[in-house]
Structure 1
Amino acid sequence: MSRWVPFGLVSCLWLWLVVKNWRQQHYRRSLWWLGCWGLSALTWTPLAFSFGGSHVARITTSWWSGGVWVLTPLEPASIDASFWLNVVMTVPQGMLLALNWPRLRWPQWLLAGLATGLSLEGGQAIGNALVSLGRWVDINDVLTNWLGVFLGAILMTVLAKHWPVKID
């Protein structure tokens, strides 16, 4: 049960931010914080999903601080369905980034993507160390989350050029 504590605590923060922004009628910002909660739910709970096959055993791993770490990027065995789903998982957050902060440009999108990937994997590392969360801390996830946010921001920018959106 204690393995759910980190997610429970961060969920309280996200809920507070969602409600605060909703009350201020910043609905898009509320969606941003809901997206943060969704990413937390996918990465900071003790429920791990694997979409990789038997080739996962060929990934170079290390055991450190209560969890499995993957520090070698882009090994052929690590580029599987999970790899691509990590990109897809963060595209909506990149879209919300560009929607909420339309003046940001690609260097900021890259930094936001990197911050997203590092936050998600850092949260897993902290969860592993504190409550044996049982999640893999994977450099490939940092890269794919980074890419997903960046692609989402590009996609929203292109969409907004063709279908202008009123910014509240």
Structure 2
Amino acid sequence: MVRWVPFGLVSLVWLVLIGRRLRQRRFWRAGWWLGCWALSALTWTPVALSFGSAMQLGQLPTHWWANGVWVVRPFAPGDLDASFWLNIVMTVPQGALLAINWPQLRWSQWVYVGLAVGLTLESGQALGNALVSLGRWVDINDILTNGLGVVLGALAVTGYRHWRTRLG
């Protein structure tokens, strides 16, 4: 039960931020914070799903540190399993919300925000492992794929806006 405490505390923060934006009638901004909550639900709960095969997991160079498994070498053999691609897909909506809420951002800033999202998610997992033995893997590939998902989501919204503008 104690393993759920970090997610519960973070959920309270997200609830406050979502509530404030809804009261301000800033629905897209509330959607951003709701997306943050969804990402933390996917990554900071003690429910870990594996989409890799046993053979692939055996190929990964891992390290045990601070009550968790760490993958620190990017793109090692066995990395390109379903979870690799799902880490991109799960952050695409956050990237779309980034472009909707902050349309003035440039593509380089999307990259920074994407990396910050990935670092935040993996840091939360590392902290959860250290404090309450969360049981989550901390993986450099997740930082990179989460960042790519954010960039792709922002690119999709920006591309759609340009396409719509050209149509008149």
In the superposition, the TM-score normalised over structure 1's length comes to: 0.96
Give the fraction of aligned pairs with identical amino acids, expressed as a percent: 63
In 1: Cα distance, 2:77 partner to 2:156 partner = 28
The residue that corresponds to 2:67 in the other structure is 66
The residue that corresponds to 2:17 in the other structure is 17
2:85 is the counterpart of 1:80:
no
In 2: Cα distance, 1:63 partner to 1:103 partner = 42
Q: CA deviation at 1:76?
A: 2.2
Aligned residues: 164
Q: CA deviation at 1:162?
A: 2.7
The residue that corresponds to 2:35 in the other structure is 35
The residue that corresponds to 1:113 in the other structure is 114
Q: CA deviation at 1:161?
A: 2.0
Unaligned residue ranges in structure 1 (runs of 5+): none
2:5 is the counterpart of 1:5:
yes
In 2: Cα distance, 1:145 partner to 1:23 partner = 30
In 2: Cα distance, 1:2 partner to 1:23 partner = 32
In 1: Cα distance, 2:161 partner to 2:28 partner = 14
The residue that corresponds to 1:45 in the other structure is 45
In the superposition, the TM-score normalised over structure 2's length comes to: 0.96
CA deviations 1:2-28 (Å, max 9, x no partner) are: 000000000000010001000000000
The residue that corresponds to 1:144 in the other structure is 145
Unaligned residue ranges in structure 2 (runs of 5+): none
2:132 is the counterpart of 1:131:
yes
RMSD: 0.8
CA deviations 1:74-105 (Å, max 9, x no partner) are: 01201111000000000000000000000001
